[in-house]
Amino acid sequence: MARTKTRPTARSGPRARRRAPATAVGAAVPLSIVILAAGQGTRMRSALPKVLQPLAGRPLLSHVLELARSLDPAAIHVVYGHGGERVREYFAAEGAAAAPSAPAAGARPALQWVRQAEQLGTGHALEQAMPAVPEEHRVLVLYADVPLLRSQTLHALITAAGDRGVALLTALLADPAGYGRVIRDRGRRIRRIVEHRDATSAERSIREVNTGVMVAPARALRRWLRALRPRNEQGEYYLTDVVAMAAREGLVVDSLVTTDRGEVLGVNDRLQLAEAEAEYRRRRSRELMERGVTVIDPARLDVRGPVEVDSDVLLDVNVVLEGPVRLGAGVRIGPNCVVQNTSIGARTVLYANCVVQNADIGADCQIGPFTRLRPGARLGDVVHAGNFVEIKNSEVGPRSKINHLSYVGDTTVGSDVNVGAGTITCNYDGANKWRTQIGDGAFIGSGSMLVAPVAIGAGATIGAGSTITADAPAGKLTLARSRQLTIEEWQRRRKPPQS
């Protein structure tokens, strides 16, 4: 990344360095961020508003909001419009969910929603937010469909703009098709931006593009926006035209140029959405590898939430990690596993094809292949859960084994228990869920039905094929099945011989 034509700013001296803000708004002039999210996203061909299209499992807009918050601004305005109520609803729910852990009031500015009733272009969209932005603020404009920008890049851009300057984030792309092109004069000063569809073929050969990210002083911006005219192929008010206005007034438009195509990718259609997903995947895989994780194929690992890892974790192909996930030292996750909101203890192995949600797994466990752990599954250390075993809302004590074809729901399993193949806890009576208790050291014979509420005592043995409807005492063998009977004279019917 190269920065061009930077001017000394109020923050460039040693004193400024001492204050060197972790956040851009450490400067004297407060920062307002405006996120443009009202566009229809026609090119997506979707009933879902574009900004709600999922990237790594959450809306595009949510990525941009996270980025905006990382800059710790004075205010964040979101311009919404097309499908707007759905957008607001989504984020209202998200805000409510985040509230309990949110920092104290004031630390995180509330979102300010601004409606753009008609989508008349990016310039018009920004204009809708300006009445709520104080004159003396600097404005950082972000597009909700540019989701992969890095916080450091934006910090650098804001620094380049200084307190009163204008700065653009541009990118040098091998394939600039579709993006607005940056037109510079002989002195390499930025003169204007021309949209792809309005550009001449000479202009289209320019590889430097507008990323949509701009910093400008609110007062000047307001004036320029008022002067915009929709004289272009789309008949829209283009925000990008303010660059020419600034240049005409003799202002130097600073720029930060990146060559990272992934970072500045604009998501306008499904192809670009898939590209963004791939870029996100690469980034997250790389991050984990840098932290010492063995990733068998970085192109076949999807990390969609925060991951805490200890040393020597191995992730095989087609693993999806979602929500917060914690992986202890030496954890190995086999092919095709989905792990959501789960903590896994040291040295535990998930064999292929496990689905694990909201679970807590101890150390040295062996899970799978084909195990499903549902919300509230809490497994102690050295537990084995094998193929076609489903465990929900249950604790399983240390060293217990549930190796084949079982359903364990709403159950407390003690330590050193052996649950035989095909055992089912019948936890639902059609109206209510009931709990099953299995004491330490119990042995449940294969094919048993444990009809809850029911308790199996410590050290009890349940004969295979039993249907247990009453508590089984500790240390005893309990059987609940009909006695085996052999009928000596019985003969099987035979078909009459064919004539």
126 binds, among Mg ion, ligand UD1, none (CB under 5 to 8 A by kind): none
* Given 77, 82, 155, 404, the catalytic residue: 404
Q: Which of residues 59-88 bind ligand UD1 (CB under 6 A)?
A: 79
Single residue of 121, 147, 362, 386 touching ligand UD1 by CB under 6 A: 121
Which region among 204-212, 252-260, 274-282, 324-332 touches ligand UD1 (by CB under 6 A)?
A: 204-212
Please report how close the Cβ of residue 261 comes to ligand UD1 at its closest, in angstroms: 12
Least Å distance between CB 243 and ligand UD1? 10
In the complex, the smallest distance separating the C-beta of residue 282 from Mg ion, rounded to whole angstroms, is 21
**Piece in contact with Mg ion (CB under 5 A), picked from 74-82, 144-152, 168-176, 376-384:** 144-152
Among 31, 55, 129, 144, binds ligand UD1 (CB under 6 A): 144
Q: How far is the CB of 188 from ligand UD1 (least distance, A)?
A: 19
Dihedral, 266, 208, 156, 215 alpha carbons, nearest 10: -70
Residue placing its CB nearer to Mg ion in the complex, 182 or 413 = 182
Q: Which stretch binds Mg ion (CB under 5 A): 217-225, 263-271, 355-363, 452-460?
A: 263-271
Q: How far is the CB of 2 from Mg ion (least distance, A)?
A: 24
Selected binder of Mg ion within 266, 335, 368, 398 (CB under 5 A): 266
Which lies closer to ligand UD1 via its Cβ, residue 117 or residue 487?
117
Q: Are 456 and 474 in contact (CB under 8 A)?
A: no
- Report the residue number, 165 or 266, with the smaller CB distance to Mg ion: 266
Contact 367, 351 (CB under 8 A): yes
* Contact of residue 180 among ligand UD1, Mg ion, none (CB under 5-8 Å per partner type): ligand UD1
Rounded CA-CA distance 57/37 in Å is: 18
Which residue is nearest to ligand UD1, using beta carbons? 180
Q: Which is nearer to ligand UD1, 36 or 367 (CB)?
A: 36
Tokens of residue 474, six digits: 């500790």
Contact 371, 349 (CB under 8 A): no
- Does the protein bind ligand UD1 through residue 272 (CB under 6 A)? no
Between 145 and 364, whose beta carbon lies closer to ligand UD1? Answer: 145
Peptide bond into 324 cis (omega under 30): no
Known catalytic residue: 155? Answer: no
Distance CA 159, CA 16 (A): 11
Decide if 420 contacts 447 (C-beta within 8 A).
yes
CB 447 within 8 A of CB 431: no
Catalytic residues: 404
Binding site for Mg ion (CB under 5 A): 145, 266, 268
- Which spans of this chain sit near ligand UD1 (rule: CB under 6 A)? 36-39, 79, 116, 119-122, 124-125, 143-146, 179-180, 193, 195, 209-212, 238-240, 266, 268
